[in-house]
Structure 1
C-alpha cells in the first residue's frame, strides 16, 4: 500500500458519519470533524486520526504491505521517526488608547489556552514568540509613561521596530489620553533574546509580561499595523527570531483600519519573502473589524464599525483584503458582539496545525 493508502484518507460527511473500510482512500465534501475522524479510525482498528483540511487522516496503518526499508517513504507517520514542526509566532498589537481594554483579556484568558493547545499538538517542535507594537522606526515618548501634554515627563527615543522585552505594570492604570508610555518592567526572558522560547515552564509568565503592552501612539505616524509587523520581522535587532524551516504565524490585533503606506500586495509578498517565497510556511491571523460597519463607533470621526466585548471596532476592509491574499493560510476574526480573542487564537491554531501537517505529511 502506498502513501495514500497508509494515510487512509477517509470519505465521510457529517450527515453520513461513515466509517473507513479496509483503509481505502476517499474524498469528502462535507468537511472533517476531529471527533468523528478519530472515532472512525478507531472503528477501523487504527489508533486514531486527525483532520487535514477536509480529509480525515488515519495514523498507524501500513496495510501489512509496506515492510521494506527501501519503502520507508511510503509508511505511516507513526511508523517512522516523529517529524516536528517548529513555529515562530509574532503578535502585533495596536497600542493606541482605544485598545487597552483588549490587552488584559488576550494576556490572561486567550493566550494561556492557545499555548496549552499548541503544546498538545503531537508534531510541535520548538516555538519562538515575539510581541511588538503597531509602530516601526524611532519615536519619542515620555519616560515613565507620562504624556508630554500632561505634565512634561522626560522624553526618550524608542526603536519601535524591536520586539518588546518589557511590560507595563499591571497595578498601574494606562494613560490612554496621552498614550506615550514606556513599559518599566523587564520581563527577563529565559532565552536571553528579544523573544520567548518554548515550550517552557516560563513561557506563559513571560508572555503575560511582554503582552501587557504600553499605551504607545504617535498621531503623526498613524497606525501602520501591517507594515509594523513586516518591519519588525525584517529588523536586524530581531535577527534570529525567524528560523529556516519554521512556520511563521503573524497575529495582528487592532480596532482601526490599517494605515500602512505599502500596498497590501507588497506587504503580503514581503512576509512570504521572509520564508524564501514558500507560502506553505506563512500564516496570518488578523483580529479587527467588519468589512461594512452597522454602527457608529466614533462620534468624532463618524467612523462605522461594530461594538463588542472590547468596545467599538472600526471597519477594516483593507486588513480583510490583505488576509484574503493568503487564501486558506489567512484567518480574519471580527471583534464584534460576543466574539472574544480566545476564538480568534483557536482559529489561528487550527490553521497553523494545517500548515504543519501539510509540510510534514505531503
Structure 2
C-alpha cells in the first residue's frame, strides 16, 4: 500500500496529495484501507459487510467533487498557538546489525551525539517549548515498557545496567545537561528475538499503563522507528489496527502526531529495491513499515537508513517537526 499510494500521488496527482481522492471497497481489506488512509482525508474505504457499493459511491461523491472545487482555494488555517511540549518516542531495533546506528545516535562513534544535536536544533527553532519527554522501547515482540536500563531486554534490569532515572519515571525529561549521556544509556537496546515488531511496539507503548505520564494531553507526539529490517508484526495484527492505535493515543487528532521511519528504502512502484548498503551496513526494504507510516498521509515520513549519516537524517526532518509544533491548536 505504501508503494502504491506514493505512485498514485506522484503519477495521478502530479506529486500533490490534495489532487488525489479514491474510493476503495473490499472485504476486511487491510491493504486497501491502508492505501486509502495514505491518499489523504478525502479518500474513503468501505467494507462490503457494512455498506453496499451504491451507498459507498454516494458517500464519496461529494469528496471527489470537493477535490476539484477546492483545488485553487487557500484553506483557512485553524487558530494555532504552537506546542509547549514535545513527547518523543523511539522504537529501536536492538539486533546486532544495528550497533553502528545506535552508536551514532548516542555519540559513541567519535562524532557528536545525533539525538542531542537534534534536540538542541529543535529548541533553538521552537523557543516557546517548555520541555520534552524522551522514551525508548525495543522492537522485540511483546515489548511495550519504556526502558530505564541499558541493553534491555537482553540484560536484566539491575544496578549495573541502571540509567539513573528517578524511581517510577520511565522517560527522560529535557532540556537537561545530562541528556546525551542518559539517552546513550536508555537507547542502547539489545534484542532477545530475531523478529522485529517495530511499528506495533510503538503503538503498544503509548497505551501501556506502566508508561502513564510519558505522553501528555497537550503535547506534540514525535515517533521515530529505526530498523534495518522490516517490521514483522503481520502475524499479530493489521496495518490498520496499528495506524488506529497511534491516532487513538493523540485523541484522534493527526495534527498532534508526526511519525518518522528510518529503514531500508523500498524504492518506487516501477523500480522496487532490495537489500541496500550504507554507512552503517546493509538493510532490507521496510515495505510493511513504510505502508504503516505512509498511512498517516502528510504526518508520516520515511528516510532511507542507507542514504547517509544519522545526522543528515535527523536534520532533514527538523523543519517538519518545527512546522507540526507551530501548527498545534490550543486545547479547548
Structure 2: runs of 5 or more not aligned: 1-15, 17-78, 108-112
TM-score norm. by structure 2 comes to 0.66
Q: 1:256 aligns with which of 206, 217, 229?
A: 229
What's the CA shift string for 1:290-346, capped at 9, x where partnerless?
1149xxxxxxxxx93100011000011211111211122111010124x11122222
Distance in 1 (CA, whole Å) between partners of 2:232 and 2:184 is 28
The answer to whether residue 112 in structure 2 is matched with residue 112 in structure 1 is no
Distance in 2 (CA, whole Å) between partners of 1:164 and 1:97 is 18
Match runs of 1:1-362 below 5 Å? 84-108=83-107, 109-120=113-124, 121-137=126-142, 160-168=143-151, 180-182=154-156, 184-190=160-166, 193-213=169-189, 215-219=190-194, 222-260=195-233, 261-292=236-267, 304-337=274-307, 339-360=308-329
Q: Is the 8 A contact 1:287 1:335 kept in 2?
A: yes
Shift of 1:84: 4.6
Secondary structure of the equivalent of 1:90?
Answer: strand
Distance in 1 (CA, whole Å) between partners of 2:241 and 2:168 is 33
Secondary structure of the equivalent of 2:290?
Answer: helix
What's the CA shift string for 1:163-218, capped at 9, x where partnerless?
1111149xxxxxxxxx94446421112585100011122222211211122x2132
Q: CA RMSD in A?
A: 2.6
Higher relative contact order (CA 8 A, sep 6+): 2
TM-score norm. by structure 1 comes to 0.61
Q: Is the 8 A contact 1:256 1:313 kept in 2?
A: yes
- Whichever of the two has the greater Rg, that structure is 1
Secondary structure of the equivalent of 1:103?
Answer: helix
Structure 1: runs of 5 or more not aligned: 1-28, 30-75, 138-159, 170-178, 294-302
Secondary structure of the equivalent of 1:167?
Answer: coil
Higher helix proportion: 2
Partner of 1:144: none
Taking structure 1 as reference, are residues 182 and 348 closer, same or farther at Cα in structure 2, changes over 3 Å only?
farther
Partner of 1:25: none
Distance in 2 (CA, whole Å) between partners of 1:266 and 1:277 is 13
Runs of 4+ with >4 A deviation: none
Shift of 1:132: 1.2
Distance in 2 (CA, whole Å) between partners of 1:360 and 1:117 is 23
